[in-house]
Amino acid sequence: MADEKSEDPCKKFGMYLAHVGVNAESDEDVEKIVGDFHRLMGLARLEYAPASVFASDFIEVMKPGKGRGTKGHLGFHVDDIDAAEKWFEDRGFKINESSRVLRDGKTYLVYFQEEIAGFAIHLTVQK
C-alpha cells in the first residue's frame, strides 16, 4: 500500500493547472503580453477583475504591482478546497492566511506561503 503522503492530489481532489499568472511591469507590458498571446494562439482578451487581464481563461496578466510571486503565479483548481488545503498542510505546506478569498462564506481561493521557482501557488475552486 502506498504511503499516504505519496497520494496524487490530482486524483484525490480533481486538481489541475487552471491558469498561469504573469506579472507585468507596466500597463504597456500588460497590453503587449495579452496581444502577443492573441497573435500567437488567437487567445481572446477577457477582463474579470481590475487587477488583471486574461488571455483566454488560462493566462492571467497581472497589472503592475498587483501580482503575487516574484515572476507570477500558478493557479490550481481543486474540487474540494477545504480538504485539499488540509491535505497540503498535513504535508508541511503553510497557507498564507492573508490571501484567503471567501465567497458566500466559503474559501474560494488561497495561496501557499512558499514560492516555487519565483511563482506563487494558489488553490481555487474556480474552473
Provide the residue range defining the domain that includes 17. Answer: 11-124
Is residue 6 one of the residues assigned to a domain? no
Q: Give the C-alpha distances (Å, rounded to integers) separating 127 from 4, 22, 81, 102, 123.
A: 26, 18, 12, 16, 11
* Domain assignment present for 1: no
In CATH, what number is assigned to the domain containing residue 44? Answer: 3.10.180.10
Classify residue 78: in a domain, yes or no: yes
d(CA 19, CA 37): 14
pLDDT of 1 higher than 50: no
Q: Could you read off the pLDDT of 34-90 as tens digits, one per residue?
A: 999 999 999 999 998 899 999 999 999 999 999 999 999 999 999 999 999 999 999
Residue 3 lies in a domain: no
Q: How many domains are there within the chain?
A: 1
Residue 4 covered by a domain = no
Residue 73 placed within a domain: yes
Predicted model pTM: 0.89
